[in-house]
Amino acid sequence: MKIPSPSANISGRSNVAAGLAITALSLGLAFGAYAAQGFTEEDDRVRGNPQAPLTLLEYSDFTCGYCEKFFEETWPILFSEYIDTGKVRLVYRDFPRAPSGASVDTALAARCAGEQGQYWAMHDRLFSSSDKFSTAQLRQQAEALKLDARQFASCFEGSRYTQDIFKDRMEGGELGIRGTPHFILYATDDPQEAVAIPGAFPYEVFKEEIDKLLQTVSSPKVSSEPL
């Protein structure tokens, strides 16, 4: 499957890379509404400096092969060059590709791990392990993280966050997102300055768009908070 060309800039600036996959028009009123509130949600999972000048909003699915490709090939460099240096923060949102099954179960397992302060640890394990599709395997992942088994089981078996997971999915759909992974890069304090990146692109594509957008914002404030 050929990965599509990088997207258009949502704010209307031309993109030097060929191919226009998303425009302000296609996002329509939904984009305006979300931009007005800075794309932030109360339950967002944020990685990196909360005050970073740029935000990379990711819609993803732990069972998606291209999402795993991004995590393995592009994410490590993005993290070291932009997240860990305080220039960009990552906001992760769920976009399950199926109404039930592994797509939902893995997202639920990550959120349940988050109750015990291990969201990102579970996130990383799910993307780096092939043992993640069955309920038994998800419990094994929780055990490996030394989570309280009873609390995790209560959360997971009670589907505590399923409604929130599909809230992410619905909002992504309203923004015109149809597949994973899908990214929206924007200036944290001015989300009207945004670029849609719909796919598991190489690091160079993200770097180009990040560096261009960084030129329009103030210098980052490096955070000492753990990632």
CATH number of the domain enclosing 90: 3.40.30.10
- Flag whether 10 is in a domain: no
- Provide mean pLDDT across the span 67-78: 97
Question: Best-predicted range by mean pLDDT among 4-13, 30-39, 178-187, 192-201?
Answer: 178-187
Which pLDDT tens digit goes with each residue over 84-130?
A: 999 999 999 999 999 999 999 999 999 999 999 999 999 999 999 87
Cα angle 105, 111, 115; round to 5: 135
- Flag whether 80 is in a domain: yes
Q: Could you give the CA distance from residue 51 to residue 164 in angstroms, rounded to a whole number? A: 25
Judged against a pLDDT cut of 60, whether residue 77 lies above it is answered with yes
- Flag whether 37 is in a domain: yes
CB neighbour list of residue 10: distance below 8 Å, 6 or more residues apart: 22, 23, 24, 27, 31, 184, 186, 194, 195, 196
Give the whole-number percent of the chain exceeding pLDDT 90.
Answer: 65
- Flag whether 17 is in a domain: no
- Flag whether 181 is in a domain: yes
- Provide mean pLDDT across the span 140-162: 97
Give this prediction's pTM.
0.81
pLDDT at 39: 64
Tokens at residue 140, please? 């094994």
- Flag whether 40 is in a domain: yes
**Domain count across the chain:** 1
- Flag whether 6 is in a domain: no
Of 5-9, 61-65, 221-225, which gets the smallest average pLDDT?
5-9
- Flag whether 85 is in a domain: yes
Q: Print the domain residue range for 55.
A: 24-214
Edge-to-edge strands, sheet with 45-47 = 45-47, 88-94, 54-60, 182-187, 190-197
